[in-house]
Chains A and B, each alone.
Chain A
Amino acid sequence: MPVEIPKDSWEGTVRTVTLGATSAEGGTRSRTITVGGQKTLPFMNFEQTAPNRPVVAVEIKERRPTDWSPLLLDVWGDAANDPAAWAKQAEAVGADLLVLALTLTDADGAPTTPQAAVAATKAVLGASALPLIVFGPGQAEADNELLLAVAEATKGERLALGICEDKNYRTIVAAALANDHCVTARTPMDVNLAKQLNILIHDMGLPLDRILMDPTTGALGYGIEYGYSVMERLRLAALQGDAMTQLPMLVTPGFEAWKTKESKVGQDVPEAWGDWAERAINWETLTAVALVESGADIVVLRHPESVRRIHKAIDELTISPEMA
């Protein structure tokens, strides 16, 4: 019985965003990363193969984090003491690109200075030739001060700067505009808010092919279903032709998964939770797999083993099946 394969055809296309600039393009990266460009729902390769596959970013910090799970600190070891060494190590475990997430304070508790942020960013750029995303500490004033300095000191490298939010995006967008960088735009799990922030950023003059949207996710067990469905809805809207949703999506399952008790804590937890290390990696990996299938273009992870597993998943998902 011949079955006619039901194929969708959409009028919209997700825009492409390219991160990093090679020497020919005015930067120092060995390669660039391009995400987006899909004309189908995720991995519907029987309709049309997507031009770009999802990529895995590894999150590093400019100094050894004090609030990370010991599992992560152990696996990164001494590399986590130094952003350059950490960047190299992240590249070695298979990162497609890096996320440098700046900390609010230095080791002594004093506010992180723009000089220190710039020094860390330059150290990372010097140690690894991968494209780079830099996140501020997540406090408006500090974000603006640090990211502005970073943006100026790295003009031409085509970083992505984050995190733009509805209450704080102007300075970051202006810094990206002036120095030829991209931005990430984060909204709290809501299609309309995502769209609105993209419009606001675009209205400042930043071209849409320099905006990544971060619709925010929850970890497995902590609201993943909201992030998952918002991403599916955003991608559907993009394919249906809604221009302000046609942006590649970045999500941070590493950050979300590793703040859960399931990942963070190994003692005094229910026996039914099983082995701590494998549970923690499952938490990050399964969160990421679900999000990749719902449309993530960049997943930011923390554990090297999760990086390996998600690469394997993306490999399998992007294989073009021989089916009519």
Chain B
Amino acid sequence: MALSGIQIYKLLPQTNCKDCGFPTCLAFAMKLAAKQVELSACPHVKDEAKAQLAEASEPPVRLITLTANGHEVKAGNEVVLFRHEKTFYNKPGFFLRVRDDQTADDIKAAVSAADSYMVNYVGRELMIDGFAVEAVKGDPAAFSAAIEAVRQVSHRPLILISRDPNVMAAGLRNVDGEHPLMYGADASNWQAMGDLAKQHGAALTVIAESLDGLADLATKLKEYGVPDLVLDPAARKLGTSLALNTQIRRLALRKNFRPLGYPVIAFPCDAEEAYEESMLAAHAIAKYAGFVVLDRFAPETAYPLLVLRENIYTDPQKPIQVQPGIYEINNPTPDSPVLVTTNFSITYFSVANEVESSGLPAWLLVADAEGMSVLTAWAAGKFDAERIAKSVKAFNVADKVNKKRIVIPGHVAVLSGEMEEELPDWEIRVGPREAVDLPAFMKQSL
């Protein structure tokens, strides 16, 4: 947890020497608290104070980064319990689990289907992040072979699952140069696992059935020299997982409780049925998981989960925008009407949804209004005749239609005069104020 200016001031020399460039130590402390200067600007601060300040400036939930072949999955660095308080930063990584008792062909088939999966959502390409390989045979060679099978078809980061240090050691040799996540260390194997984690620079999951146990093990491993830890509080049901993940996040953020200041891993894959797995995964996204391990990869489940993750991790302080452009709704032809709106996602969705559910074909021109809704953008000068005309030209709307006619939102009816000047060969029509009235308007007036 960050220290206040006063707390920092107490650790400074309090000589007001001005060597840092600020008139007083207190002024410098305030700047430090606001993270606007570096402590190194003070040449006189004592080492002991430096250590304390460094400790305090560490994030409450440690950032863990898994890497492989240029791919990267980050978890941690979160600073709030509720997304509206600021935002959630690092989207939980989705990992598909395979096992070493599957044939190499089966593993490759499962992995390559998930590895190549990509779905488009509001102009963004969503995909899963990596794979978890579980050793169920207890045989180092089998584990190694399974990892090799995965590596033949995917380059994404891995989670290696085995509690047996010998098996784990074999697996780690396959992923030299990568930064995988090991799963994991429990009360009986933690030293051997800690050795492996140190040796390979891997992150290590700590597994315990209670928060006491987790805190214990995490403390021991940190002291042992393993800084990158992930927590598995071993809850596999919605209710217990919600309680434990909340407690861990609260302890990390509110109490600055270091032993639990790490990301959490969730295992929806352990659910008995596919539908439970998808609900557990949805819960893990909303409630604080950093890594999510899945068993059953299917596009019809992956797509909604990836979208939910985008939604929950959207920064509430910034409006989500859709890509400006010309969108086709219900397979429009050159005779279909052109409607224009802004690129604030909710505005876009309201309009697109209404038109789409009406079944009427249309070209929807989404102008770049810097992610604002129609009235807000208009008031801010981001949705005026000039901008709309620019979009009409930029996206070659004239080439798509026979009739040069464009419908502007009723809220900006005032723009129609200027629009006629900007687009002299176009007919400018004023549509309804609300998206919900569009289908009726289109039926009656277009």
Contact = CB atoms under 8 A, between A and B. Distances in A.
Interface of A: 1-3, 5-6, 43-46, 67, 218, 220-226, 228-229, 232-233, 236, 259-262, 264, 268, 270-276, 278-279, 281-283, 285-286, 289-290, 293-294, 309, 312-313, 316-319, 321, 323
Nearest to B218: A1
B278 A6 contact: no
Nearest to B241: A316
A121 B82 CA distance: 41
B345 A272 contact: no
B311 A221 contact: yes
Given A279-B300, A283-B304, A293-B287, A43 B282 contact: no
A282 B304 contact: yes
A317 B238 contact: yes
Contact of A232 (B82, B211, B259): B82
A282 B278 contact: yes
B212 A6 contact: no
A274 B251 CA distance: 40
Nearest to A236: B82
Q: Is the interface of B mostly helix, strand, loop or mixed?
A: helix
Contacts of A282: 278, 300-301, 304
A271 B279 CA distance: 23
Contacts of A272: 117-120, 299, 303
B243 A321 contact: yes
Interface stretch (B69-77, B188-196, B349-357): B349-357
B275 interface: yes
Contact of B243 (A233, A273, A286, A323): A323
A285 B275 contact: yes
A309 B240 CA distance: 18
A268 B359 CA distance: 14
B149 interface: no
Contacts of B312: 225, 228, 290
Contacts of B438: none
B374 interface: no
A294 B84 CA distance: 12
A223 B346 contact: yes
Interface in B207-239: 211-212, 215-216, 219, 237-239
A6 B254 contact: yes
A263 B250 CA distance: 37
A159 to B, nearest CB: 26
Contacts of A222: 349, 353
Nearest to A280: B300
Interface in B303-318: 303-305, 307-308, 310-312, 314, 316
Given A3-B211, A283-B304, A316-B239, 5 more contacts: A2-B212, A220-B304, A224-B308, A225-B312, A278-B298
A286 B305 contact: yes
B276 interface: yes
